[in-house]
Structure 1
Amino acid sequence: MRHGFDDAAVAGVLAHMNGDHDDDNLLIARAYAPDADIVAATMIGFDGAGGEWRATLATGEETFVRVPWPGGSITERREVRREIVALYDESCRRLGIAPRPHD
């Protein structure tokens, strides 16, 4: 059974990701849906098993990209950041892009 996070945790993470990390959302969606011509992506949710992004294709159509957390299932809000950073790093590796430093 997947762990669900409370509404405040989900809203906070999504606001941060979609307000401050649009490029990271796009990078993750492209890395985990490599056969799709993705031009934009928005994080739309997450649970204890992974995150989900709505991606816009070059044709204007939308698709969804669900990615499991690299470290396995999580249950704490503080673990979400760790897993998204790991997704970002793995996305850079998959796409051959040098990752930026993490604060």
Structure 2
Amino acid sequence: MTHTFDEAAISGVLGHMNDDHRDDNLLIARAFGEPEAVSSTMTFFDGDGGDWQATLPGGDVRELRVAWPGGSITERREVRREIVALYDAACERLGLEPRPHD
């Protein structure tokens, strides 16, 4: 059964990703299914992966589900690790140098 995070965890992660990591959202969308995306917003996550909305040229919006690279998770602290891994994998797929992580 897929782990569901509480509303505070979901709100906190989505706020952080959509306020502070818009470019990362776009890289993830482009690398994992929507290469023509012009913007992307993280909309949800659970223990199996994250969901993004990718906006394409012309305004069409596509839903995108990306599984966590390390497999299913159950703790909030694991979310950051998996999003960082997605970002790194997105950079690799797109031939970009990832920035260092704290």
Range of TM-score over shorter length: over 0.9
Q: Distance between the aligned counterparts of 2:48 and 2:19, measured in 1?
A: 23
Which residue of structure 2 lines up, in the alignment, with residue 15 of structure 1? 15
RMSD: 0.7
Which residue of structure 2 lines up, in the alignment, with residue 53 of structure 1? 52
In the alignment of these two chains, the number of paired residues is: 102
TM-score of the two chains, using structure 1 as the length reference: 0.97
Which residue of structure 2 lines up, in the alignment, with residue 43 of structure 1? 42
Q: Distance between the aligned counterparts of 1:6 and 1:89, measured in 2?
A: 26
Q: Which amino acid aligns with 1:87?
A: L
Q: How many percent identity over aligned positions? A: 67
Q: Distance between the aligned counterparts of 1:71 and 1:15, measured in 2?
A: 23
Which of structure 1's runs of 4+ aligned residues deviate more than 3 A?
A: none
- Residue 33 (structure 2) pairs with residue 33 (structure 1): yes
- Unaligned stretches of 5+ in structure 1? none
Deviation at 1:91, TM superposition (A): 0.2
TM-score of the two chains, using structure 2 as the length reference: 0.98
Secondary structure of the corresponding residue to residue 78 of structure 2: helix
